[in-house]
């Protein structure tokens, strides 16, 4: 669709406006996708295993007591 003004000239203003709007809309969509990916990566929980800095203080390992022999006295 070509827009011709009253003087008979082709009016490119709507196309230029559309080009600028499209560029900014694409940038806004890309930035929002990046923000969602970054939020997901920052919310992922860490690994419970030790790394090069040592054990993770977030995870507490509780060791279970050794099983007693059935022949031992409980009181003494």
CB of 44 closer than 8 Å to CB of 38: no
The mean pLDDT of 29-56, rounded to a whole number, is 89
For residue 40, pLDDT beyond 90: yes
Residue 44 lies in a domain: yes
* Number of domains into which the chain is organized: 1
Residue 48 lies in a domain: yes
**Residue span of the structural domain in which 30 resides:** 7-64
Q: Choose between 40 and 60: higher pLDDT.
A: 40
Dihedrals φ, ψ of 58, to 5°?
-75, -35
Residue 74 lies in a domain: no
Q: Choose between 62 and 68: higher pLDDT.
A: 62
Residue 2 lies in a domain: no
pLDDT in tens, 1-15: 666 666 777 777 777
**pTM of the predicted model as reported, rounded to 2 decimal places:** 0.51
């Amino acid at each position: 669709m070509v827009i011709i003004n009253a003087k008979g000239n082709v009016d490119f203003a709507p196309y230029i406006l559309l080009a600028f709007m499209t560029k900014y809309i694409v940038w806004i969509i890309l930035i929002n996708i990046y923000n969602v990916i970054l939020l997901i990566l920052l919310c992922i929980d860490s690994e419970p295993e030790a790394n090069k800095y040592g054990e993770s203080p977030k995870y507490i390992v509780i060791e279970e007591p050794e099983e007693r022999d059935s022949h031992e006295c409980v009181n003494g």
